[in-house]
Chain A
Amino acid sequence: MDTPSRRLTRSLTKVESPEQGKKRNLQSKQNFICLDTPTPINVTNPDQKRYGVNIGLRCRMMSSSSNNSPKTQNISKETSEKAAQNCSLKKMKDPIVAESRDQLKGHDEKINKIMMDIRLRQYQIISQQIELKDELRAMQLSVNEKINGFTDELRRKLTGNSTPHVYSSPMVIYTDSAKMKTKEKNSATASVLKRILVNCSAQAKQYGSCVTARVPEVERDMCLKEFLVLKNCMRNVEHVGMSGKASASNHPGFSVSDALSHVYIQYPPLRCTLAGTRSFLYDDGNKLLLGLTSDRVFSWKTAPFNPHVAPSSDPLCEGPVLSIRYSLDLKLLAVQRSNYEVQIWNKQTGDTISQKCRSESESILGFFWADCPTCDIVFVKTSGLDFYSYNPELKSLHLVETKKLNVSWYIYTHESRLVLLASGMQCKSFTGYQLSSAGIIRLPRFEITMAKSEANNKPILAAEDVHIITVYGRIYCLQFDRVAMLLHSYRFYRDAVVQQGSLPIYSNRIAVSVVDNILLVHQVDAKVVIIYDMFAESRTPISAPLPLLLRGFSRASESKELSGPEIIIYGDGWSFLVPDLICDVANGFLWKIHLDLEAISASSSDTPSVLEFLQRRKLEANKAKQLCLAIARTLILERRSLPLVARAIDVLITTYSQAIKTGSHQRRTNTEDASPSGVSNLKSSNTEVDESSRVDASGIKQESARGIENESSNRSTVSASVSDVSVSFETMKMTSHNLDSSSGQTEGGYMVERETSGAQVDASIVQSQILGSGSNALNANASEQLESQVSSATISPADLYRFVFAAIGEEMAGDSSYLVSIIVEFLRSASLEKLKVDPNIYVLIVQLLAREERYEELGLFVLNKIIDPSKEVALQLMESGHQNVQTRKLGLDMLRELSLHHDYVLLLVQDKYYLEALRYARKNKVNTVRPSLFLEAAHASNDSQHLAAVLRFFSDFIPGFKNTSDHHTYCRIVADMNSSIAT
């Protein structure tokens, strides 16, 4: 495509003076960004009519530029109108936008013209972009150091005032698009331009270089390809900025979008769109998303997350539904119909039980199913808790226990098995119960302190401001203090609730998710998410606040499903489900939140802590492992300072060693040991369960001996201990999603009760081992399969050798001594943890040292046994010792010390020490070396006495030697030699 105006402006740019060019540049930049604002340029666009796309333009630059793109220029008018309508509809919601839309009316042509103009002038920007690119690179390096300051800045900006805010930093730019239209033009311009520069510099450079290369002959479709790439990129960037929509970022070979976000949701979502769905509810006990229609309840399994899972459905009687939950064995369905009534429907028999409360004095706040031995379902009422057990025979509920207290509201998560009951005027006094398989545990009552905005103001704590999270098998309660703008964390121990510190909040609406033991605090208003790793006690975020990214969503797929609703990140319809799901209620989408491990690890320069972080990841263990290996390789290849690399290696080795000690690092031998025969199957099952119980122990070890974890490890039912019962098995649980289904069905059969003994860790381990031995082989096999599928992120020394040292050995040829230093650190780490290392690494050391002819050091390494003696090493020493006799001797000595008599004698003979070899052979009774070798060596030395001696030796010591041809040959030779001497 080439338009007259394009050609015109291009020639214009060429002739204008530098000063003018500057001006135009500025202008174009502004125009480029602020398309929504009216512009005073009165240029008519001759192309406007031809394409008929002007309607779409006033809304969104995206549609206009896509219409301008050569490929889509013939897009139908209907389509664009539709898009335009779509977006004008949206705009109507916003009065300011509506106003500006009115202003815009009649300026379509101008805008269109400007669009064209801009595209043509992009190449003026390019030169700046190229300059800026280097600058950005430099800034990228310093960005990590700036993160702390960055957070403060964010806080100041977001909380300090109500004016619209743009958040920007050298690398990380976030624009709050919802309010963007009302803000000053300049800042917006700068921000988006910056973003474009960040994102599209590569494309821009390509395009720019192409244009500059061909500037003399301006022609049709000049540098079209490069232009398209650049435009595409820019469009995406500004699209995100302008409309608040994430857009396609998966351009081949270009993944900068990853760097802009640490948390993402993957397109496509689980679509729960069914006609007539009234509402969505989440059953976290069974990890089911429930969609209600007038007469049915549809359930989608969310674990494991599969976007294409088909729903199952059950009929549902007409009537209001306040909440709905399946029992944990999925046989019963409980529906809260009103504040006074809960109905329980048996799926198999179709019977319905109705449970009501005294309507005058109390009301039902909610209910949940429990897998505690004494009760099956718990009702939370304003007057307290009712624990019921379900009797399948009588098909009735039986009241087990009642806890009387006033309850204002409650929160419960199934993964923690913890219900928190709020009471008091301000609802800040909490009582907690944990309904574990060991029974019902009452937690100490605790009060939450809240900041007051005024002296006499007594804020009331709302249920949505309190969250229960489980990370690393610990339970925390997070409380959002709206006045102080802080998120307080409380950690639950069995005998205490301890406040743990606070996290800053930058938004009036927040949500909390936990992905792979990482806490995600969504600042919903600011549309950013801050991630924390609660493992360490420090409360500094892992990285800067960054937007949530929509991944894998491309324009192409959108255009295919044009009717599809819009995806709005942090839209109003989003509700966050425990622990890591987002339900877009408006659209019926269910998203799963993922961590972008690459981006997180790329964003920090403190490599050892990045490695620690990655090593703790269980969900994407393999990915984390690969990342760790890649990081280790890069560290070495970039020749980072020795102490840094040493620390990094320490991290890897230490975590591996800990994993070995606690047994959570699965050894392949386990799987190999397990034979399919019945008897040994039982045996292997024992080992497996032992393993899992050791995991538990580790969980406890990290804690003090007290705490809820103890409790939960006491209450293990065998099947459940492997799957998802208790909190302290959280580490295990990450690997056991697959098992959920199977154990869910079989759970009843394997329920083994355990007495709640003291909180002694050892005792509990022993007990669980005993239980393990009684467990069914089938269950254990399941966990075994599972372990072979999901590995942990820990890296064994062997892997470290194979994927790091061996892999880069060749590349480091120029700097062997550096690599040797690294390997020494590796050995130090390994020996500190008493780990065996691959013998090949010693061979590698020998090679590296010999390559640089550092034989003296090599000698020290061998003499001090830093290099573990082995045959491989000895032979390598012999080989490397071709240049250096001492080294060769070391190899020989090593063979001797290893008692490899045959090799030793053979090599001695080869080195012409045949007499010594002979003596040694006699002493150690080596008779595997052919006599002819000795004789040849003696003959070669041209010493008839020696030859005769060797001959005599074999004649005496090897029976029948006298009859061999060797004997005859050499006898003659000796005789010849003697006669020649005599003459």
Chain B
Amino acid sequence: MGLSSGSNASEAVKLCVFDLRRGQNEGQELDKILFFYPADLPFTTQLSVIGLSEGLITFTRIFSPEAACDVIEAEMHSHVFYEAEPDIWMVMVVEKNKESEAMWRIDALRRVLKEVHTLFVMFHGSIRELVDKEPTGGLVRTHLYYFIMDYLSDFFIGKKLHLPNFRDSLKERGTVQMLTVGREVAIDVQSLVRVIESCAENSKCYSLTMFQDLLVSTTLSPDDTVSLFTYAVLRLTPQALSSGVSSWSYLRKGSTACNTSAGAVMANSCPSVDQYYNSGDTSPVGNRSYPVVRPLQNDKWSKGKDGFLVTDIWGAEFGSSIPTSPTIWLKQTEERMYLCAYQLRSLTVILLIPVSSVLNGEQGIAMVKQQILENASLKMFKVEEKLSRGWGGENAYHVSGYRYLLVDGDRYVSRASPPGKVTTLTKDSLVALSNLREEVDSERIRANSDGLSHEKDLEICIRAKNNAWLIARLTRGKELYMVLEKANETLLYASDAVMKFSDRYCNGAFSLE
């Protein structure tokens, strides 16, 4: 898997966050930089990256003020742009190298940037707010530094950042993976959800229910669901909890096959942030007086005796050993919520309670927890039992003969062939698929920039060099990507296979013709 690549990690990938509204005067350019990875790069290099980026942004804004710049493709590098918040940009610079498998799909990289930003916002609020809170920038820099470094730690394999490349073409970051359940179980789950949400008396609560690392039910908006789901998969699910304990490697993960894209790259404990933290004076976090909550820190969550997950990430209340309950921001309602996670074997239930409605802090939360234990534990037990019984294992969504990715863009839901099965594809097919997706992405971007609210239907079938069929189909917000390696020669056969798949697994959504 190219682990033996000799290229230096710090040179291969650069990631920076900067604020265009800061450092407008000459000599104060450093002020723009809110985050830079690798942190030990000389300031001149940092400045040159940001200078180039800013220049391009300024230039492209002339033509397209709304969506200024997506990407710079240089001969050796790609610069991926993402405007996280107005005038706050995230830029990722990756090296292109065919030898070392450094073949990227820009949108996949941009989704990494997007993910780290949404997670950041979920825990800390928007970057702009933090910037405004303390104009010197120390606060936001500290927060960004720890947060992004914690986040990136999951991508480290050895000393190398392993960003999603062509091998992840049948995955879609920023979507949730759902468990398919029967009607009866679904009703039971809903009943459980209602009971749990009613536990906190008369405040409007939200909940997210997961089975292993698959979503079962949510009452959150799609955006918030994605963020919380991502976090839960990274840190809260039973797998995430156990990964910290067991000796665990990417290779093993690859063979045991996690069902989610996030799972495949998560929880690599090797180089932790603390290495950088201690690595010298070059760290931008000169001032350590800021209290920082590091929600993505590894191995900080554990399961308490009562079944609720506990962590000391949020510190403890003064003079007591009871950890403070975690809080997150919801994007939809812009409300601050307490996060309560209960875990029963493979079932994880996350309840969000508005901070405003809990008057007496930890005591109130404890009461809610008590209520949950009293009212819902039996139900949870039953639901978990039913779900486990109906759970088809990690290859439950494997369709033999097909390697597919199904994305419902409206609901941010995706389903894919299990990673273990995807690895059986040849490199050629994967590279070709990556390119195909790149095409589709750019087609989609073009459609969006044309201001067409009307979703376009699109169908592409490609016969690759190795005689595999690569198929992409977009219809009314749903996307289907497929690799058929052992397919017959005719196009008719390929489209027939798609039709069958669609009728069988997508309620005929892709079989309009």
A residues near B, CB below 8 A? 641-643, 646, 817-818, 820-821, 824-825, 827-828, 831-832, 854, 856-857, 859-861, 864-866, 885-886, 889, 893, 896-897, 912-913, 915-916, 919-920, 923
Contacts and interface: CB of A to CB of B under 8 A. Distances in A.
Contact of A824 (B194, B222, B509): B194
Determine the interface band of chain B, counting residues with CB < 8 A from chain A.
20 to 34
A897 to B, nearest CB: 5
Given A828-B187, A893-B507, A920 B512 contact: yes
Q: Give the 5 A-B residue pairs with the shortest CB-CB distance, closest first.
A: A864-B186, A821-B194, A886-B410, A642-B198, A828-B187
Interface stretch (B24-32, B110-118, B212-220): B212-220
B7 interface: no
B508 A897 contact: yes
Given A642-B375, A860-B218, 10 more contacts: A643-B195, A820-B194, A824-B187, A831-B184, A832-B184, A856-B220, A866-B183, A889-B477, A893-B507, A897-B508
Contacts of B279: none
A912 B454 contact: yes
B68 to A, nearest CB: 27
B345 to A, nearest CB: 21
B96 interface: no
A885 to B, nearest CB: 7
Contacts of B476: 889, 913, 916
Contact of B507 (A866, A897, A912): A897
Contacts of A832: 184
Nearest to B186: A864
Contacts of B52: none
Given A856-B221, A866-B187, A893 B194 contact: no
Looking at B187, B217, B411, which has the most chain A CB atoms within 10 Å of its CB?
A: B187
Interface string B96-127: 00000000000000000000000000000000
Contacts of B411: 856, 859, 886
Given A866-B187, A896-B508, A897-B507, A856 B477 contact: no
Contact of B222 (A642, A817, A856, A916): A856
Interface of B: 181, 183-184, 186-188, 190-191, 194-195, 197-198, 204, 217-222, 225, 375, 410-411, 454, 457, 475-477, 507-509, 512-513
Given A642-B195, A856-B221, A916-B476, A866 B186 contact: yes
Contact of B509 (A828, A831, A859, A893): A893
Contacts of A923: 512-513
Nearest to A885: B410
Contacts of A824: 187, 190-191, 194
A418 B401 CA distance: 75
A856 B219 contact: yes
Looking at B186, B195, B454, which has the most chain A CB atoms within 10 Å of its CB?
A: B186
Contacts of B512: 916, 919-920, 923
Nearest to B179: A864
Contacts of A857: 218-219
Contacts of B187: 824, 827-828, 831, 866
Looking at A857, A860, A912, which has the most chain B CB atoms within 10 Å of its CB?
A: A860
A642 B219 contact: no
Contacts of A861: 190
A857 B222 CA distance: 10
Contact of A641 (B198, B217, B219, B454): B198
Given A866-B183, A916-B512, A919-B512, A828 B191 contact: yes
A642 B194 contact: yes
Looking at B195, B218, B509, which has the most chain A CB atoms within 10 Å of its CB?
A: B195
27 contacts: A641-B198, A642-B195, A643-B195, A643-B375, A817-B204, A820-B194, A821-B194, A821-B197, A824-B187, A824-B191, A824-B194, A828-B188, A828-B190, A831-B183, A831-B187, A854-B219, A856-B220, A860-B190, A861-B190, A864-B181, A865-B186, A866-B187, A886-B411, A916-B457, A916-B512, A919-B513, A923-B512
Nearest to A924: B512
Contacts of B218: 856-857, 860
Nearest to B187: A828
Contacts of A831: 183-184, 187
Nearest to B506: A893
A817 B509 CA distance: 31
A820 B187 CA distance: 12
A727 B507 CA distance: 56
B410 A646 contact: no
Contacts of B410: 885-886, 889
A820 B198 CA distance: 12
A945 to B, nearest CB: 14
Looking at B181, B410, B508, which has the most chain A CB atoms within 10 Å of its CB?
A: B410
B340 to A, nearest CB: 18
Contacts of B508: 896-897
